[in-house]
Each structure stands twice: as structure tokens, then as C-alpha cells.
Amino acid sequence: VLVNNAGINRAGPLDTVTEEDWDDIMAVNLKGPFLVSQEVLPMMVGTGGGRIINIASVSGLYGGPTTAHYAASKAGLISLTQVLARWGADHNIFVNSISPGIIETDLTREELRTGGGKNVVGLTLLKRPGQVEDVASIAVMLASDEQNYMTGQTISPNGGSYFAD
């Protein structure tokens, strides 16, 4: 099982994103998972199959006004997931992605309570952030032998972000 979970973001309006910002985010969020997957695929083929889980973002499904480069990188990762799934199907390799919404972690906790993150949480139907376990439980399911008919898909635990007014 390979879980591609590296990611960085530098939020800012589109007109402030530098080429360096763009390149740095693409390198970590898209190029990294591509290269690691490319390295691991022959081993998975040799052992009769495997699982790749890419951690994308709800931003990859619909961009935000201050995350053009981040959203593009995560949309690219979702597309890469589909490409890898097509390739891997003949080799018993299942490839899926998880696109979480706002998740409470050590890195986001303070922002969620006091800053702009509080406003984002208010835009979800559930009016609360997700927890790490909400994402981890999906990853465990995707990694398990209990799931043998899902590939090329994106699951988005996001508290109903799409449906809020």
C-alpha cells in the first residue's frame, strides 16, 4: 500500500502567486506523488497487485479564490489517480484518492477556532471541521482487501461543503 500524503499550500489571491510558489506547490503536491508512484508500481506488479491512495483536497474538486496553485495541484492529483487506475487495473492495482474538506489537525486547530478557518467551517452543512479519523477510516477501507471493486474514484469527506449556501 502506498499513501501519497505530502502537501503544501501558500494561500493568497491569484494575482500574488509567484512562479516560485506555483513550482514549489506542483513539485510537492503533484510531481512527488507521480514519482513515488512510478517507483512503486513495478514492485506492485511483481507482487501481484497493490493499492495507491492519493490524498488530494476538496479544493481539487472546486477551486477557491485564494488557492489557485493548490487547487490546480490537487485537481492534477485527482486526474493522476484516474490515469494510474486505468494503468493499474490490468495488474490488480487499485488507485483511489481522498479529497478532504477542512480537517482539524495540530496545524489547523488555532485557525479553525479564531481565524478564516472558522468562516470556512460555517460554510459546511455540518458546521464543524472533520477529524483526522474521518479521513483515516476511508484510507483504511481503501487499503483493505475488503474493498475490491473501487478504483479511479475520489471520496470527499467534507461535511457537506458542496451543499451549503
Which CATH number is 22's domain given?
A: 3.40.50.720
pLDDT, averaged across the chain: 94
Report pTM.
0.94
Q: Tell me, yes or no, whether 22 lies in a domain.
A: yes
Q: Tell me, yes or no, whether 65 lies in a domain.
A: yes
- The region that residue 128 occupies, defined by phi over 0 for left and psi between -120 and 50 for alpha, beta otherwise, is beta
Inter-residue long-range contacts of 77-80, CB under 8 Å, 24+ positions, other chains counted: 77/4, 77/29, 77/30, 77/33, 78/54, 78/154, 80/30, 80/33, 80/34, 80/37, 80/54
Q: What does the pLDDT look like over 84-120, one tens digit per residue?
A: 999 999 999 999 999 999 999 998 888 888 877 778 8
As given in the structure block, the three cell numbers for residue 9 are 499550500
Taking the CA atoms of residue 57, residue 62, residue 65 and residue 71 in that order, the dihedral angle to the nearest 10 degrees is 40
User: How many separate domains does the chain show?
Assistant: 1
- The answer to whether residue 70 scores a pLDDT higher than 80 is yes
Catalytic annotation, residues: 70
User: In sequence order, which ranges of the chain are alpha helices (DSSP H)?
Assistant: 19-26, 32-46, 68-88, 109-114, 116-122, 132-143
Q: Tell me, yes or no, whether 49 lies in a domain.
A: yes
Q: Tell me, yes or no, whether 144 lies in a domain.
A: yes
Report the pLDDT value the prediction gives residue 165, as an integer from 0 to 100: 53
DSSP helix/strand/coil, 56: coil
**77, 59, 52, 45: which is closest to 142 by C-alpha?**
52
Q: Tell me, yes or no, whether 12 lies in a domain.
A: yes
Whether the CB-CB separation of 102 and 128 falls below 8 Å is answered with no
Q: Tell me, yes or no, whether 141 lies in a domain.
A: yes
> Of the ranges 104-108, 131-135, 148-152, which one carries the lowest mean pLDDT score?
104-108
Domain span at residue 73 reads 2-102+133-155
Q: Tell me, yes or no, whether 112 lies in a domain.
A: no
Q: Which tops the pLDDT comparison, 69 or 116?
A: 69
> Of the ranges 51-55, 67-71, 75-79, 105-109, which one carries the lowest mean pLDDT score?
105-109
Mean pLDDT of 48-63: 96
Q: Tell me, yes or no, whether 125 lies in a domain.
A: no
Alpha carbon of residue 78 to chain centroid: 7
